[in-house]
Structure 1
Amino acid sequence: MRLFSALLVILSLLTFSVSAQEQLRTNITFESGEYTMHGELLLPVNRSNIPMIIFLVGAGENSSHRTLYKEFVEQNIEALFIEEGYGILYFDKRGIGESDGKWQRSGIYDRADDTKAAVNYLKSLDVVDPNRIGIVGHSQGGWVAQVVGSLYAQDVKAIASLAAPVFDTELHLTNIYYSEYICEGESEDKAFDKATKKAKSDINWVTWFPLKKAWRHLREISEFDPSSSLRRLSIPSLFVFADNDHMVYPGWALNSMNEIFDNNIPSHFTISVVPNANHDFKNIGMCASQEDVDSALYSDYFKTTFKSWILRNL
């Protein structure tokens, strides 16, 4: 038994060593206008002409690949694409981690500028294929991906918008509040009426009294509408929604898309709805407790759909 146990230890160490050699993780900085952005670069070893994914996190002070998104990126980005020879770039938003600036004073277009700076940084690296850089964004990061893809089609090959709105900020707030009221037991009509009024009230309030960081940020994005960016998107674009997403209802998103494109959604758009998944693509209901959400597993349907699309288009 001792010999067998010793062999298991040796095998596990060998496995760890091989795994550790599969990627090189490096802390990086790059300049975006007057700001220095800090992040991480993950590259498969012994590769050249590496296709790259820039991953963009959602809104909020705790949104970083190092914190709130740590589990998400490990299971849904790194585990899926490093083994396929892709590299990954993360960077913290302005004012998060060691990045310069203030996140609460940054709008969607500010984040798009920073992402373009990340693209420029990647193009300066000899090991990167400059023609195979894709932008993947989750939640608010998906809004940013939509903008980047529309403005910099010559620099970006494809974008993926994950659980991100395709409608304006006011409707997005309405969607969030509507879900809260539904989960509290309100009827659909009453929930929608209350949510609509609360969304309008909040936007009016933060216009004049942005007393908290979150309110200041809401003021920055209060007038954002992605419709013009969506119309300009000319590169392969993936939009993934989730059945049980309390922040972006798939039905509302599809209705918005059809309104924007007069029921003729472009052929270079791919739209997928992940069954039985929440905003983070975990297999859980919309009104589940945080404890249940934390223990839920990520959707295999999402992983398969997302990975296959990236491999085909990037």
Structure 2
Amino acid sequence: MKTTLNIALWLVILFFSCLNHAQAFEGSWTGSIQGMPLIFEITPLGDGYSAKMQSPKQSKNFFEMDSATVEDGLITIIFDAYKIKYVGELKDGKIEGTFTQGPGSAPMTLEKKAYEEVVPDRPQEPKAPFPYKVEDVVFENPKAGNIKLAGTLTMPADVENPPVAIMISGSGPQDRDEQLFFHKPFLVIADHLAKKGIAVLRYDDRGVAQSEGTQANATSLDFATDVEAAVAFLKTRNDIDPEKIGLIGHSEGGLIAPIVIAANPKDIAFFVSLAGPGVSGTDVLLPQMQKSVEFQGASPEAVALEMEIMEAILEKIKNTPDSSNQEVKDAILEIIETKADAAPENLGSKYTSEYAQIVASQFSDTWFRYFVSYDPTPYLEKVSCPVLALNGSLDYQVIPEINLPGMKSAFAKANNSDVTITIRPGLNHLFQNAITGSGSEYATIEETFDPATLDIISSWINERF
């Protein structure tokens, strides 16, 4: 009888120990990886657990995890679609573990507390009152159903009919400040230029913030008509010089600007390219993709497989311009499945059906298909206005050694005698002073835009106008 009681007591202790262990994992946990905050909500579910994750700086949505299990004191959370895995152990009220995404991994500690948004220091962000005029404006694009685009025009205080620059944002939906990770580079640029006697018009992309329209099925050609509408709007004003309207394009904006200039050569007085592409979309993307995988710590074999798959996908996109998006998506899924099945298990296992679906959906998008096949050369060869082309030496998204020679060659064919092409040492794709150039640094760097580069831009414009 004594033995039976001891066993029963041991079972009760074990039950409550497991229950307390489960309850210890339950709740809202906050951590960060490479400066990026993550929130995990862990909930008991029957005999197991459910979990969801949020990256609050990137989205307000929570994503349901595929599994959350506790075994031998370790919790394992898996999100197959993004190849995310977190394994952690309770220690002193915290979960200490390792966060893995794809081939890369890093330590991450979770604390049982609600996420508190901390706005990082952005010392360059200008604050009112401003020593220049600030005007909210709205203009229409007649080539896009007369959608209204909302923006801000900054005017130097004591300059009559100043030159004016139209800011053109990079890829994806962007507001008038091109805001990213609490950085507002277009606001910083506009502030600097206005103080140097140069007016600036920046606007919310179509379908973003206060602008009408949608980005669905829109390509760079469509966005070029938005810029043309901005030019037409400025030409109606009597407080700027219509002979001194220029374009400043960042990333994809540096691709859109030559499209506008080629179609309206007499309307554009100057062009500043900030990390704009000088080669085809495919030639921009493949080195960018390789660099991204290498930054994640992938082995040479994993990098080789990734590039083999991506090259096959981009080639398929280029060779099927008349296929529907669904047909292209199906073809991409087949490429990934075939290549992954033929690869060693330790390499091919990355390419799950969920992963393949995400890649196929993104790469079969109308904008992406246009970008892959886009060749900027015919447009760049028609740019005869003064050009300032800048890239950061640590830019791995639009790699300068690949893109700037293409620009130089095209401008030479245009017989353009006023071209300045410069690689800015130590700067990344956002023109921040960086260490590696990796996108993971964007949020952690306090600087929004290199001050010396701001001076280069304003001096270059003022020397000509």
Task: Give me the TM-score of the superposition, normalised by structure 2.
Answer: 0.57
Q: What is the Cα-based RMSD across aligned positions, in Å?
A: 3.1
Residues 262 and 159 of structure 1: CA distance in aligned 2, closer, same or farther (over 3 Å): closer
**Which residue in 1 is equivalent to 2:186?**
73
Give 1:124-203 correspondences, 5 Å limit: 124-186=236-298, 191=303, 194-195=306-307, 197-201=309-313
Q: What pairs with 1:1-314 in structure 2 (closer than 5 Å)? A: 19-20=129-130, 22-33=132-143, 34=145, 35-45=147-157, 47-62=159-174, 64-65=176-177, 67-68=179-180, 71-75=184-188, 77-186=189-298, 191=303, 194-195=306-307, 197-201=309-313, 204=316, 208-209=328-329, 211=361, 215-257=365-407, 260=410, 266-284=416-434, 285-287=436-438, 289-290=440-441, 293-296=444-447, 298-314=449-465
Q: Identify which of structures 1 and 2 has the higher relative contact order when contacts are C-alpha pairs closer than 8 Å and 6+ apart.
A: 1
Distance 1:149 1:237 in 2: 11
| Conserved 8 A contact 1:30-1:117 | yes
Aligned pair in 2 of structure 1 residues 42, 247: CA closer, same or farther (>3 Å)?
same
Q: Distance in 2 between matches of 1:113 and 1:136?
A: 15
Report the CA distance shift for 1:169/1:301 in structure 2 as closer, same or farther (over 3 A): same
> What is the CA deviation profile of residues 202-258 of structure 1, one whole-angstrom value per residue up to 9, with x for unaligned ones?
574667237459934212433211000111111111111110001111111134346
Bigger CA drift: 198-207 or 19-28? 198-207
Q: 1:259 to 1:120 in 2, by over 3 A?
A: closer
| Between 250-259 and 271-280, the greater mean CA deviation after superposition | 250-259
Secondary structure at 2:452's aligned position in 1? helix
Q: Are the equivalent residues in 2 in contact too, given 1:170–1:200 (CA < 8 A)? A: no
Structure with more helix by fraction: 1
| CA distance in 1 between partners of 2:304 and 2:416 (Å) | 30
Specify whether residues 47 and 266 from structure 1 end up closer, same or farther in structure 2 by C-alpha distance, changes over 3 A only. Answer: closer
Moved more, 28-37 or 77-86: 28-37
> How far off its partner does 1:139 sit?
0.6
Contact 1:257–1:265 (8 Å) recurs in 2: no
TM-score by length of 1: 0.82
Output one character per residue of 1:4-52: Cα deviation in whole Å (capped at 9) or x when no partner.
xxxxxxxxxxxx88x4352222232333321222222222335431211
SS in 2 for 1:50: coil
Counterpart secondary structure, 2:375: coil
Write the letter of the residue equivalent to 2:291. Answer: S
SS where residue 365 of structure 2 aligns? helix
Structure 2: 5+ residue runs without aligned partners?
A: 1-126, 318-324, 330-359
Tell me the SS of whatever aligns to 1:244: coil
Distance 1:275 1:113 in 2: 34
Q: When you count strand as a share of all residues, which structure comes out higher? A: 2
Evaluate the alpha carbon distance shift between residue 84 and residue 255 of structure 1 in structure 2; reply closer, same or farther with a 3 A threshold.
Answer: closer
Q: CA deviation at 1:129?
A: 0.6
Secondary structure, counterpart of 1:106 in structure 2: coil
